[in-house]
Amino acid sequence: MARRKLTAEEMAAKVAKMKATKAANKAKALEAINAQRKPIKKARKARRMTEDQKAAAIARLAKAREARGPSQNKLIAENVRLLPDDNALSLKNVRSWIKENKELLVAIKSFKDSKDSKERAKFLAVQGYVQNLEAYLRNGVYLDNFYGSQMQNKIQYRVTTMAYNRDGTPKRTVGYHYPDVGVYTQEMALQDA
């Protein structure tokens, strides 16, 4: 059965109805999007100051900085703050290691999802090292077995309380620092055996 041809008036009415439906659907969709979207804040205009106002503001800021005094680093653990700058685990050194390793993390970001397990391990090691350094600054307890800008130095353990065998001889482990003999070496272990 063949369709009847529409007259010009019927065609115009059909097109107008289609356009009205399309406009209504578009308005409904835009309303739904705007309901989810947060209003955009207007950007503030830059404040224009005269030379006298600038000079006065600079003087006020200088006075406020002077009154505040030097930085207290209250968020840094006290035992870390009190270490001298020439100490290996001083605040200055640890901050420089954190900065260097964060830059390294950005450089090896692609290693995170690598198929090579060595690359993933490298990324995770650096990430863990940065987290341990930041934890050290917060609580003063060094958690990592390595230190240095590239984790090149190994932490040496210091024995504070001695342990003894049943016969009264001290128990010792190679590589640990003891108060009576210093660093216990493999040669010392062979002599004691």
- The domain locations on the chain are 78-154, 156-193
Mean pLDDT of 50-56: 93
Q: What pLDDT is stored for residue 121 in this prediction? A: 95
What's the pTM value of the predicted model, to 2 decimals? Answer: 0.60
The yes-or-no verdict on residue 91 having pLDDT over 70 is yes
The yes-or-no verdict on residue 40 having pLDDT over 90 is no
Which neighbouring-strand residues pair with 170?
A: 164
Instruction: Read off the pLDDT band of 153 (50, 70, 90).
Output: very high
Three-state SS for 155-166 is CCCECCCCCECC
Q: Residue holding tokens 């954190």?
A: 98
Q: Residue holding tokens 């001889």?
A: 169
Q: What pLDDT is stored for residue 39 in this prediction? A: 64
Instruction: Read off the pLDDT band of 35 (50, 70, 90).
Output: low
